[in-house]
Amino acid sequence: MTLANLNFLQADLDWGGEDPIRGARHVVDQEDIEAVITALRGDWLTTGPMVGEFEREFAQQVDAPFAVALSSGTAALHATMSALGVKAGDEVIVPTLTFVATANCVVYCGATPVFADVDPQTLLIDPFDVERKITDRTRVIVAMDYAGQPCDYDALRELSLRYGLHLVSDACHSLGGSYRQRKVGTLADISVFSLHPAKAMTTGEGGMVVTPHESIAMFVQRFRNHGIDRDARQREKANTWQYEMHEMGYNYRISDIQCALGRSQLKKLAKWIKQRQLIAERYDAAFSQSDSVSAPLVHDDRHHARHLYPLRLRQDRVVLTRDQIFRELRARGIGVNVHFVPVHLQPYYRNNYSTGPRLCPNAEQAYEELFSLPIYSTLTSQEVSRVISAVIEVTRKHER
Active-site positions read 199
Nearer to ligand PLP, 99 or 219 (CB): 99
Nearer to ligand PLP, 193 or 391 (CB): 193
Nearer to ligand PLP, 79 or 394 (CB): 79
Q: Give the nearest distance from C-beta 302 to ligand PLP in angstroms.
A: 17
Distance CA 234, CA 208 (A): 21
Exposure on the CB side of residue 192, measured as CA atoms within 13 A:
28
Handedness of CA 18, 19, 25, 28 (dihedral sign): negative
Distance CA 363, CA 348 (A): 18
250-259 in b/e form (b: 16+ CB < 10 A) is bebbbbbbbb
Distance CA 93, CA 129 (A): 10
Nearer to ligand PLP, 208 or 318 (CB): 208
Closest CA to 277 of 311, 307, 310, 312: 307
Q: Give the nearest distance from C-beta 204 to ligand PLP in angstroms.
A: 10
- Judged by the rule CB under 6 A, the positions of this chain that interact with ligand PLP are 72-74, 98-99, 101-102, 144, 170, 172-173, 194, 196, 207
Nearer to ligand PLP, 339 or 386 (CB): 339
Q: Give the nearest distance from C-beta 27 to ligand PLP in angstroms.
A: 17
Contact (CB, 8 A) for 256 and 50: yes
Distance CA 295, CA 287 (A): 8
Q: Give the nearest distance from C-beta 321 to ligand PLP in angstroms.
A: 25
Distance CA 171, CA 184 (A): 7
Phi then psi for 336, rounded to 5 degrees?
Answer: -75, 160
To the nearest 5 percent, what fractions of the chain are helix, strand and coil?
40, 15, 40
DSSP string, 158-205: HHHHHHT-EEEEE-TT-TT-EETTEETTSSSSEEEEE--TTSSS--SS
Q: Give the nearest distance from C-beta 171 to ligand PLP in angstroms.
A: 8
Nearer to ligand PLP, 170 or 189 (CB): 170
Task: Return the residue nearest ligand PLP (CB atom).
Answer: 73
Q: Give the nearest distance from C-beta 28 to ligand PLP in angstroms.
A: 17
